[in-house]
């Protein structure tokens, strides 16, 4: 392969896989047909708004970014779509000030209406209704990272705004996007707006959807991937497209390092070292969780947690750790031996890397950050703590959540 060809393929790989930023082109957006349909139905129905929620890393922001392109593709044109990022300093007024500034820059100003509201010290829900009802055309206003909004009053005001817009059939749709397991965690007083709010949960992606991400990215670079290599990427991603993009990109780089255009399972395995070196924030949190001045098995116990059988929400029991820990260490450990390790993982000293829920007789655990679980496994592979064969033997489909 010529040097120039190799460089061009690397560039195309970066176009096909984007682990550092959300996907912003619909041609590279895979799966999520049900969720896209739910959002579409809300947009074309008067008085309906959307709350999109799920774990970190499942592709919520990517879906929001390609929404405009998708809607145009199905014939909905002239729709103004703007995304506003929330941060911890925001309240209801500052978020709408951000939104109205974007509308002014997009040329949506009408008779000084937006400028007048921007000049107000306090913006109320009825101000939003008044402004949006008088602007021409329809629009979608997306508030991303809504979970970062820490002011409870602001969440209540958003609920009031949604009800107000729905009651007056204002031709605008609000789309709230955030990290959460339930809608309760994102917005207060939501029961008063249930009829107006479409609740769209983004679960982890299934194997076919993740495989589609791999295929599209590899095709972009005019490369091929062996079936076993694609399946390994899917397996190691654990339903999170963030890792699929990472593994796809660096596996492709590994193949090109060998001056090959075919990606093999060895390329995927070797790419874990590169991924570990790039994931600075997650790596730092992992180091806090397992570091100790004395010899210990904290790294092995955390790795066993990552490999434990879990339910669809990512929870596992203490007993689920026994088998993977035995496979990793070559020794048999009872629950009583590593209970203290699990307790420590839930405390400040080890960064609260795990979350503990439930009463004492029915305790369950989960990684506080969904991105940590695949990282722990990749780190274990890179350091030789666990073999690929062991991972393949231990990995199973998530068990169903028991009915409450």
Q: Which residue has the tokens 């014939």?
A: 75
Q: What's the pLDDT score for residue 98? A: 92
Q: What is the CATH number of the domain that holds 334?
A: 1.10.10.10
Q: What's the pLDDT score for residue 292? A: 82
Rounded Cα–Cα distance for residues 246 and 272 (Å) = 9
Would you say residue 396 has pLDDT above 60?
Answer: no
Q: What's the pLDDT score for residue 401? A: 43
Last residue of a domain, one of 148, 172, 202: 202
Same domain, 386 and 308: yes
Cα–Cα–Cα angle for 374, 296, 306, rounded to 5 degrees:
15
Domain membership flag for residue 399:
no
Going by pLDDT thresholds of 50, 70 and 90, the confidence category of residue 289 is very high
Same domain, 83 and 184: yes
Give the number of domains in the chain: 3
Same domain, 213 and 301: no
Mean pLDDT of 22-35: 67
Same domain, 76 and 133: yes
Mean pLDDT of 234-251: 90
Domain membership flag for residue 3:
no
Same domain, 237 and 306: no
Q: Percent helix, strand, coil in the chain (nearest 5)? A: 55, 10, 35
Same domain, 48 and 132: yes
Rounded Cα–Cα distance for residues 124 and 126 (Å) = 5
Task: Kindly report the average pLDDT of the chain as a whole number.
Answer: 86
Q: What's the pLDDT score for residue 21? A: 63
Would you say residue 190 has pLDDT above 70?
Answer: no
* Range(s) of the domain holding residue 274: 206-278
Rounded Cα–Cα distance for residues 326 and 382 (Å) = 19
Same domain, 225 and 243: yes
Q: Are 265 and 227 in contact (CB under 8 A)?
A: no
DSSP assignment of 285-320 equals HHHHHH--SS---HHHHHHHHHHS--BTTS-B-GGG
Last residue of a domain, one of 202, 227, 247: 202
pTM equals 0.78
Of 308, 290, 265, nearest to 379 by C-alpha is: 290
Question: Based on C-alpha coordinates, what's the Rg of the chain?
Answer: 23
Q: Which residue has the higher pLDDT, 274 or 233?
A: 233
């Amino acid at each position: 392969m010529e040097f120039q060809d190799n460089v061009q393929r690397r560039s195309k790989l970066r176009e096909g896989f984007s682990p550092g930023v959300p996907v912003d082109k619909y041609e590279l957006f895979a799966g999520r047909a049900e969720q896209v349909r739910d959002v579409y139905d809300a947009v074309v129905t008067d008085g309906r708004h959307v709350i999109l929620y799920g774990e970190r890393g499942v592709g919520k922001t990517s879906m929001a970014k390609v929404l405009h392109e998708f809607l145009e593709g199905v014939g909905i044109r002239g729709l103004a779509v703007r995304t506003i990022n929330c941060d911890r300093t925001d309240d209801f007024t500052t978020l709408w000030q951000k939104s109205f500034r974007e509308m002014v820059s997009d040329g949506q100003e009408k008779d000084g209406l937006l400028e007048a509201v921007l000049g107000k010290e306090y913006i109320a829900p009825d101000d939003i209704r008044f402004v949006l009802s008088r602007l021409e055309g329809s629009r979608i206003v997306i508030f991303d990272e809504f979970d970062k909004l820490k002011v409870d009053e602001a969440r209540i005001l958003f609920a009031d705004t949604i009800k107000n817009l729905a009651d007056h059939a204002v031709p605008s749709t609000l789309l709230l996007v955030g990290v959460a397991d339930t809608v309760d965690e994102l917005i207060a007083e939501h029961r008063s707006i249930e009829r107006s709010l479409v609740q769209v949960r983004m679960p982890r992606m299934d194997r076919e959807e993740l495989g589609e991400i791999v295929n599209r990215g590899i095709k972009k670079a005019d490369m091929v991937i062996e079936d076993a290599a694609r399946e390994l990427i899917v397996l190691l991603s654990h339903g999170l497209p963030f890792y699929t993009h990472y593994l796809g990109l660096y596996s492709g780089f590994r193949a090109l390092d060998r001056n090959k255009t075919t990606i093999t399972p060895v390329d995927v395995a070797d790419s874990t070292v590169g991924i570990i070196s790039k994931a600075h924030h997650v790596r730092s949190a992992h180091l806090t969780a397992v570091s100790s001045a004395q010899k210990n098995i904290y790294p092995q116990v955390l790795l066993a947690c990552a490999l434990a059988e879990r339910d669809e929400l990512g929870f596992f029991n203490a007993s689920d750790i026994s088998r993977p820990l035995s496979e990793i260490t070559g020794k048999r450990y009872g629950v009583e031996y590593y209970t203290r390790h699990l307790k420590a993982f839930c405390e400040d000293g080890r960064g609260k890397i795990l979350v503990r829920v439930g009463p004492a007789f029915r305790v369950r655990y989960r990684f506080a950050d969904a991105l940590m679980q695949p990282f722990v496994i990749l780190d274990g592979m890179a350091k030789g703590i666990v073999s690929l064969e062991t991972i393949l033997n231990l990995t199973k489909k998530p068990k169903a959540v028991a009915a409450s």
